[in-house]
Amino acid sequence: MTPTSLDNWLSYIESQHPSEIELGLARGNSVLEKLAISRPKNEIITVAGTNGKGSTCAMLTQYLSSQGHSVGTYTSPHFLAFNERIALNNEPCNDELICQAFEAIELARGSTPLTYFEFSTLAALWIFSQSDLDYWVLEVGLGGRLDSVNMVDADVAVVTSIALDHTDWLGDSIEVIAREKTGIARRDKLLVSGVVNPPSSLAETAIMIGADLRQKGEHFSYQVTGQEWSWTGNECSYHHLPLPNLPIENAATVIAVLSYMGLEPDESALQDLFASAQLTGRFQKVSDAPLIYIDVAHNPEAASELAKRVSAFESKPIAVCGMLKDKDINSVMVSLADKFSAWHLADLGGPRGARAQDLMAILEQHNVKHITPHNTIADAFDTASGKALEENRPVVVFGSFVTVTDYLAHTKQKEA
């Protein structure tokens, strides 16, 4: 029977492949050919990287939309609703349109098994094709070269950062991971790298592909002065830009993408963008009393960025943390061990979830005091927020997309 609702479809596609992840393009490409996907009027922008993909996609989408362009944006994972993954002009697609996409894919795939992510990616491409858009902004899920987003040729490839993560799938060195992520580039097409101190394999891979590489620190740069910053590159410059809510490294990369695409970004529009751009779970302020921030930071690079941000607080915040056991938990904890007045750790559900007691053991090895384990993020947050009100301290909820999702679900339930 054909599923009759989005929830039914999602349950169905989860059951169609024995593995949650199976990198490779052959299955998806065989179905994509049957779907007769048409490209956007202008460019497809594909974004890969260890960190910063989501914020880069968000800023690119917001800027292009502000200039009157129609934009389809595909991101992952979602927090509370699958619809978050596929957006038209910054608005999540409705259930009906996504179900239509799944029906088209199911008809086209025949006996070809597809993973959940392959179904999702093909659905986004089908919807964007049907919508006659100016631009597509596509976020790579895992890696680059073998990720299903790479089924379609990028007109503009973007690599935001390179760090050790998903080593079981992508390799155990920065050099190897850089090759995988740079694999989204295409011959004679623009490749913008926002990577700080890029490994040599990034440029080597770009040369091998024949891509037109533009790198941060070589072709463009930025400088912070007080509460403003400036950008220089491509024979132009922008000054007096407000410090963005999202990481400035990614903001600088966004300007480079727009500039080297030939769009000649408008300075006032950039000022508006960086003053307003926000993204769920990226050091996002969600409450003033007490002051609460949520952040999906789950690897060493993201933890270092979070450490810089919390160090700017007037008083040490309280941590609410849950992590997945296949992440580099020790390195994350080392970066943040002395940044909080107290830690409230929580078990995360599912086979990948780490136990609070295991996180606690790592922190104790680094002489961290005031650690409390909890069974759930909800319990950890409720206890931490109570103490935050008493002590007039901020709370930072972080450690995983799952952690932020659990927090959002908890607060939504409390508000209902």
Which residue's entry shows tokens 């596929």? 86
Strand, helix or coil at 233? strand
pLDDT at residue 414 in the model: 86
- Identity of residue 63: Y
State mean pLDDT over 58-65: 98
Which residue's entry shows tokens 């914020």? 55
Structure tokens at 327: 């992440």
The full set of domain ranges for the chain reads 6-276, 284-415
Instruction: Find, among 368, 398, 369, 366, the residue nearest to 381 by Cα.
Output: 398
Strand, helix or coil at 302? helix
pLDDT at residue 321 in the model: 98
Residues with Cβ within 8 Å of 414's Cβ and at least 6 positions away in sequence, in order, are: none
Task: State pLDDT tens for residues 282-324.
Answer: 999 999 989 999 999 999 989 999 999 999 999 999 999 999 9
* Separation between Cα atoms, residue 5 and residue 317, nearest integer Å: 43
* Domain 284-415 class, CATH top level: alpha beta
Per-residue confidence at 4, pLDDT binned at 50, 70, 90?
confident
pLDDT at residue 23 in the model: 74
Strand-pairing partners, residue 344, are 320, 372
DSSP H/E element including 37: none
State mean pLDDT over 11-32: 84
pLDDT at residue 143 in the model: 82
Instruction: Output phi, psi for 301, to 5 deg.
Output: -65, -45
Would you mind telling me the total number of residues written for the chain in this entry? 416
Pairing status of strand 91-92 against strand 86-88: antiparallel
What proportion of the chain, given as a percentage, has pLDDT over 70?
96
Question: In this structure, what is the dihedral angle of CA atoms 80, 85, 87, 90, given to the nearest 10 degrees?
Answer: 60
Dihedral sign for Cα atoms in the order 306, 401, 82, 113: positive
Local structure of residue 278 (DSSP, 8 states)? -
Per-residue confidence at 193, pLDDT binned at 50, 70, 90?
very high
Identical fold, 6-276 and 284-415: no
Q: Is the pLDDT of residue 165 over 90?
A: no
Instruction: Output phi, psi for 341, to 5 deg.
Output: -80, -25
Instruction: Find, among 401, 298, 327, the residue nearest to 166 by Cα.
Output: 327
* Separation between Cα atoms, residue 165 and residue 131, nearest integer Å: 35
Per-residue confidence at 67, pLDDT binned at 50, 70, 90?
very high
Task: State pLDDT tens for residues 318-366.
Answer: 999 999 998 899 999 999 999 999 999 999 998 889 999 999 999 999 9
Q: Is the pLDDT of residue 168 over 90?
A: no
Per-residue confidence at 18, pLDDT binned at 50, 70, 90?
low
Instruction: Find, among 300, 309, 287, 312, the residue nearest to 388 by Cα.
Output: 287
pLDDT at residue 49 in the model: 94
In CATH terms, 6-276 corresponds, of 3.40.1190.10, 3.40.50.880, 3.30.1360.120, 3.30.420.40, to: 3.40.1190.10
Distance of CA 404 to the CA centre of its chain: 13
Q: Is the pLDDT of residue 390 over 90?
A: yes
Q: Is the pLDDT of residue 169 over 70?
A: no
pLDDT at residue 17 in the model: 67
Task: State pLDDT tens for residues 120-129.
Answer: 999 999 999 9
Instruction: Output phi, psi for 220, to 5 deg.
Output: -150, 160
Residues with Cβ within 8 Å of 209's Cβ and at least 6 positions away in sequence, in order, are: 182, 183, 185, 186, 187, 191
pLDDT at residue 173 in the model: 86
- The whole-chain average pLDDT of the chain stands at 94
Cβ pair 230, 251 in contact under 8 A = no
